Structure 1
Amino acid sequence: MTAAPVRRRGRILLSSPDVGGREQELVAEAIASGWIAPLGPMVDAFEQRIAERCGRAHAVALSSGTAALHLALLELGARPGRAVIVPTMTFIATANAVVYTGAEPVFVDCDPETGILSPALLEEALAALQAEGTTVAAVVPVDLLGRCADYPVLDGICARYGVPVVSDAAEALGSSWRGRPAGSSGVMAALSFNGNKIMTTSGGGMLLTDDAATAQRIRYLSTQARQPAVHYEHTEVGYNYRLSNVLAALGLAQLERLDEMIGRRRALREHYAALVDGVPGVRVFQREGDAGDNCWLTALLVDPAEAGWSVDDLRGALDLADIESRPLWNPMHRQPVFTGARGHLDGSADRLFATGLTLPSGSSLSADQVDDVLETMGAFLEQRR
């Protein structure tokens, strides 16, 4: 039996922020400029460059990706008495944004190979809601773990029912699908710059659109819906959702390094793929067709009947070695907060949750840390062979 390697440093995390000298330089520049409070030249530049990267006419920098989804859904008329379709295989922020508007989230299952919203079940859900007379304010596909949804297919389905699409591209900045960059699809799209994302502004997000009036409206709502008066005057409820100039400086530096960081995550995925190549019942999730993915998180799928062990066994071994790993997203229809919610489900998300395990994928991992993870996994596989 092969012993696991001895840890040489602190806990190895899934996706830590990757920051360095350039980030310090631009943040210091923002502070020295005096633009400390929200908005300023760094915000303007960050919006422009993200819009260019994503092939959009307009971008609005916000406090989170959740804020972007919330405002997008409000603009599309999500409110009590209406429904919004979201994948059940997603992080809860997608569904929470629906609840913030008062609309009902209706959960739809995923393709078992990619984890992306199932076109067949989406059409089933739209037909059922239309038949009962429920207005669907929007469909929100999720670009899961850096894999873009097949928007041409989903857009076509939604167009037949007259329902707009909002792209939740929170996990996919830098990815592409059939030549289209993540964030370029839907009437609006949302990005996230949370601390664990492919690039970070500590916290933050972005709403993308091609419509100038929509961008202007989102800016208005996200700055407390203040009217253009000398005094503070408000005719409707707004939100404190804007990104600060200092955090935008961090984002500008991160954006300069985005392709490099994606390259490091992809190299790590290749290491994992080589490690499990030929191991019965084990494969890298979303491996097929991943040329355009940003490889935000790499996950394994394990068939315990074929492998002779489960993802829980591997997770336990990694945890003993002080290496973080985590199951794929716990589907929304399984969440206690959404008990009783409606869904169109076929068990695919349940199976991915039961058999999937995300592995350390961050671009900030040192060579020694990568070696530690691979050696620990190699020792586990050797023991189980």
Structure 2
Amino acid sequence: MRLWLSLIGYNYRMSNICAGIGRGQMTVADAHVAHHKHTCDLYRELLKDVKGITLHENPSGRFDSNYWLNTIVLDPLLRVKGQENAYQATVQGAVGGAGGVTHAAANAHTDCEPNANVEAMRVGLDAMDIESRPLWKPMHKQPVYKDCPAYVNGVSESLFKVGLCLPSGPYVTDRDIEYIVGGIRGLIER
């Protein structure tokens, strides 16, 4: 699952349904943030002794995350089971659009991809029914913006190559996180 933008589209309005759902969510926002913080704390505790994996943290006390998404960074030297075949299979299926499937994916590979160990970890977790995904591809690497000026310093490309998003939703349980971390540990080659 990857974000791939090839056309610019605009839709600034919020429907009445979305506004109603958003208003209803405000009543549970504090509980959701508390749950997400607990999720992050548990990931941190369970991953603290896993060499080669770092949980993304707030850079300093000046920041106050809402813990919406937990991400890990895999050391490029970390070996993951299946890594040698991570990009051997071509993506099957089609690219979705706002109105559904719009066209078949022309090429599964680009000049900016996650490292093979990140892709192997994603594929391995997927085989265990654990949904994960690489960090978002930097905007200046999206086809729709290929001819636009970009002011970059390499950080977004570096993080995209080594980062992986972990399940973090409001219904992820402690037991789920233990299973996820167990899967991560099991995929690391010793």
Which fold has the larger relative contact order, with Cα–Cα distance below 8 Å and residues 6 or more apart in sequence?
Answer: 2
Shift of 1:242: 4.4
**Structure ID, larger Rg:** 1
**1:348–1:243 CA distance, 2 compared to 1 (3 A):** same
Deviations 1:24-66 (A, max 9, x none): xxxxxxxxxxxxxxxxxxxxxxxxxxxxxxxxxxxxxxxxxxx
CA distance in 2, matches of 1:376, 1:312: 14
CA distance in 2, matches of 1:380, 1:242: 42
Q: Percent identity?
A: 28
* Correspondence for 2:19: 248
Relative to the length of structure 1, the TM-score reads: 0.35
Residues 1:303 and 2:75 aligned together? yes
Aligned with 2:130 (options 319, 323, 334): 323
| Cα distance between partner residues in 2 of 1:339 and 1:313 | 28
Report the AA paired with residue 76 of structure 2. P
- How big is the shift at 1:241? 2.2
1:288: how far off? Answer: 3.6
Q: After superposition, what is the alpha-carbon deviation per residue over 1:61-95, rounded to whole angstroms, capped at 9, x for unaligned?
A: xxxxxxxxxxxxxxxxxxxxxxxxxxxxx996xx9
Q: Which residue does the alignment assign to 2:55?
A: 284
The one-letter amino acid of 1:312's match is E
Which residue in 2 is equivalent to 1:313?
A: 120
Q: Which amino acid aligns with 2:47?
A: V
Aligned to 2:54, what secondary structure does the other structure show? strand
- What is the CA–CA distance in structure 2 between the aligned matches of 1:295 and 1:352, rounded to whole Å? 18
Change (3 A) 1:281 1:249: same
Aligned mates of 2:29, 2:132 — CA distance in 1: 24
- In structure 2, the CA distance between the partners of 1:378 and 1:335, relative to structure 1 (3 Å rule), is same
Structure 1 unaligned residues grouped into runs of 5+: 1-89, 101-238
Amino acid at match of 2:71: A
- The answer for the alignment partner of 2:90 in structure 1 is none
Structure 2, gaps ≥5 residues long? 81-116
Q: How many residues align?
A: 150
Distance (Å, rounded) in 1 between the aligned partners of 2:12 and 2:134: 33
Counterparts in 2 of 1:97-108, with a 5 A limit? Answer: none
Structure 1 residue 362, shift from structure 2 partner = 0.4
1:311 to partner: Cα distance: 1.6
Q: How does 1:145-160 map to 2 (within 5 A)?
A: none
Q: Which amino acid aligns with 1:377?
A: I
Q: Following the alignment from structure 1 to structure 2, what is the Cα–Cα distance between the partners of residues 347 and 370? A: 31
Tell me the distance in 1 between the aligned counterparts of 2:43 and 2:174: 14
Equivalent residue, structure 2, for 1:372 = 179
What is the deviation of 1:243? 3.2
Q: Residue 294 in 1 paired to residue 72 in 2?
A: no
- TM-score, normalised by the number of residues in structure 2: 0.67
Shift of residue 350, structure 1, vs aligned partner: 0.8
1:257 and 2:28 are equivalent in the alignment: yes
How has the CA–CA distance of structure 1 residues 303 and 342 changed in structure 2, closer, same or farther, with 3 Å as cutoff?
same
> What's the RMSD between the two structures over aligned residues?
2.8
Please give the per-residue CA displacement for 1:274-305, whole angstroms capped at 9, x wherever unaligned: 22213333211234437610111110011222
Do the aligned partners of 1:275 and 1:378 also contact (CA within 8 Å) in 2?
no
